[in-house]
Amino acid sequence: MILNTQKFLLKNLKNTRKLLNIRLLSTVGDEKYKGNYDVIIAGGGMVGCTLACAMAKNPLLSSLKVLLLEGSPDKKFELKPEYSNRVVALSQNTKLLMSSINVWQHVENMRLQPVRHMQVWDACSDAMISFSSSEILDDDVAYIVENDVLLHAVNTELNKTNNKNLDIVYGAKIDSYKLPTSTDRELKSLVKLANGDAYSCQLLIGADGANSAVRRAMGVQYVSWNYKQMGVVATLHLAEETENTTAWQRWLPTGPVALLPLDSKRSSLVWSTWEENAKELLKLPEEQFVDALNDALWKQYPRSSAVDACMSWVGGCLRGAGLADGAARQLPPSVRGIAPASRAAFPLGFGHSTRYVAPGVALVGDAAHRVHPLAGQGVNLGFGDIKELTELLADTVYTGFDITHPDWMRRYESERQKHNVPTQLAIEALHRLYTVDFPPVVLLRSIGVQVTNALQPIKKFVMAHAAT
C-alpha cells in the first residue's frame, strides 16, 4: 500500500513538473528557446562582468551554469596612448576584490594612477579639507582607472579562467523578463531578447545599470530623482608636469568640479553642473571651454564677509588648540587644453531600490543604487555588492541549499542596504549642502569642514567608510 501510494505521489509530482515546464515554455511561444541556466546575469557592464568573473573563479560557484547577456557588441579592446574620458576612482576595497580574483594585475599591466592626496575646497569660503594617504591610511587613497581598462582586465581574466560553464552573449538586447511569482513551486525566470531568443534560469541577476529593466520587472519601489545636472567629462592636459597624485575637487554653487589624476601631465575631468550649463559647455570651442574650466577652478566667488570672519575665528581657535586648520592648502593645477573630442556629458541622478531581491532575482550595482559622482563611490558600491553576493552564494551552495534560497538573498539585501543607503544619503546631503550659496549654510558647512579637517579621528572615519 505504502509503495503504491508513493508511486502515485511520485507520478503526480513528476506530472506537475512536466506541466510547469510546458507552461513556462508555452509562454515563449514561437520564439527560440535557447536553454536553461543556473544563473543569468543581465548586463555586462563593469559590475556584471566582475560578477561573472568572481563566480567563475570561486571553487564553489564555478560549476554553476552562468549566462552573461550584454546589449552592446563585443568591442576589441586596444590600449591607446590617449586616455578614455570615462574613468572611475576605485577604493582600496575594490582593489582587494580585484586582487582576489586576479584582475588587479591586469589593470596594473595596462595603466592606473594612484591617488595619494585629496583636496576638497569651497568656492564660497576658505574651507577646505585634505586627505593624504600617509596621514590617514597606510596605502593610497584611491586609484583612477579607465572604465574600458577595468572591463578589459576583467575580460582578460575571464578568458584565462576559461570556465566552460560560462556563456557570454554580446549584442544581446534584452526585450523582456518574466519573473516567477512567490507561489510558483519552481523558481524560474524567463529572459527574452529582441531577436526572439529566450533563456530561462533559476537565479536572475540584474546588473543592467541605473535604468534597470530587471528592477522594473520586479515591480519594486524605486526612489529616484533627477538632479537636473549633468557630469561633463573630458581628458585634460595640465599646464605643468608634476607627480600628479592629487585628486582635486572644488565646490562651486553649481556643483563640484573634480580633477582626477591620470599621469604626470593629464587629468580626467568630472564637472557636475546644471543641464543647460553642461550643454553650453559641450558646445564651447575647446579654448573657451578650457578658460571656463580654469575659471571654475580658480575664480573668486562673491563671498560673505561674515562667513570669512567666522572662519578665521574658528581657525584661530583650532590653532589655539594645537590643531592644523587647513593651512596646508595646495594650489590646484592649471589646465592647458583638452584631448580632442574627449568632451561628453552624462545625466546625474539619485536612485534607491527599496528591495534588492525578489524570489529568484537580485539586483547589483547601479541597478540597485545610483549616486551623484561627487564622492566617486558609484561603482565601488556595486563591487561591494559583488563581494557580498558571491560570499553569501558560495556559503549557500556549501551548505547544500538552492541558489535561490531566500535566506542568503535576504541577508544580501540587508547587508548591502546597511552599507549603501547611509553612503547614498551622506552623498546626497553633501550635494544639497553645497549647491547653495546662502551665507548661513555656507558658514555651517565651512566650519564643519574646517573642524573635520583638523580632527584626525573623524577624517579617518570618513576615509575608512569611503574605502569600503
Partner 1 sequence: MSSAVLRMPWLAYQKIFNKTIASQTRLLSSVNAVKKDDVQTITTVDKSDVEFFSNQMNHWWELDGPLKALHSMNLIRIPFVRDGLVQCSPAERNLSPLRDKKILDVGCGGGILSEGLARLGATVTGIDASKDLIAVAEAHKVLDPRIENNKPTYYNITIEDHISKYSNYYDAVVASEVIEHVNNQELFVKSCVQALKPGGRIFFTTPNRTRLSQLLVIYLAENVLKLLEKGSHQYEKFITPNELTFLLERNNCHVESVYGILYHFLANSWEFVRAQSLMYAMQAVKLN
Ligand X SMILES: Cc1cc2nc3c(=O)[nH]c(=O)nc-3n(C[C@H](O)[C@H](O)[C@H](O)COP(=O)(O)OP(=O)(O)OC[C@H]3O[C@@H](n4cnc5c(N)ncnc54)[C@H](O)[C@@H]3O)c2cc1C
Task: Give the interface with ligand X as residue ranges (CB under 6 A).
Answer: 43-48, 69-72, 88-89, 172-174, 207-209, 213, 231, 233, 270, 346, 365-366, 373, 376-380, 382
C-alpha–C-alpha distance, residues 460 and 343, integer Å? 35
Q: Rule CB under 8 A: which of 3-32 touch partner 1? A: 5-6, 8-10, 12-13
Nearer to ligand X, 278 or 318 (CB): 278
Q: Which of 88, 166, 358, 397 binds partner 1 (CB under 8 A)?
A: 397
Is residue 63 close enough to count as binding partner 1 by CB under 8 A?
yes
Is 331 a binder of partner 1 (CB under 8 A)?
Answer: no
Binding residue count for partner 1, defined by CB under 8 A: 20
Which has the closest alpha carbon to 243: 227, 266, 224, 221? 266
- Collapsing DSSP states into helix, strand and coil, what is residue 417? helix
Cell numbers of 271, please? 564637472
DSSP 64: S
Q: Which is nearer to ligand X, 71 or 256 (CB)?
A: 71
Which range of residues in 1-9, 87-95, 355-363, 440-448 is near partner 1 by CB under 8 A?
Answer: 1-9
Smallest distance from partner 1 to CB 404, Å = 11
Shortest CB 145 distance to ligand X, Å: 9
User: Which three cell numbers mark 3?
Assistant: 509503495
User: Of the two residues 265 and 411, which places its CB atom closer to partner 1 in the complex?
Assistant: 411
CA 153 – CA 99 distance, rounded (Å): 11
- Which one of partner 1, ligand X, none interacts with residue 6, CB within 5 to 8 A by kind? partner 1
In angstroms, what CA-CA distances link 417 with 290, 349, 379, 382, 424? 40, 18, 15, 12, 10
Q: What does the CA dihedral 340, 255, 442, 307 come to, rounded to 10 degrees?
A: 20
Going 436 to 439 to 441 to 444, the CA torsion angle's sign is positive
Position of minimal CB gap to ligand X: 45
Q: Does 399 bind partner 1 (CB under 8 A)?
A: yes
174 binds, among ligand X, partner 1, none (CB under 5 to 8 A by kind): ligand X
Question: Taking the complex as a whole, how short is the minimal distance between the CB of residue 232 and ligand X, in angstroms?
Answer: 8
| DSSP codes of every residue in 14-35 | HHHHHHHHHHHHHTTTTSEEEE
Report the candidate in 387, 394, 392 with the shortest Cα–Cα distance to residue 59: 394
Residues interacting with partner 1, by CB under 8 A? 1-2, 5-6, 8-10, 12-13, 59-60, 63, 394, 397-401, 407, 410
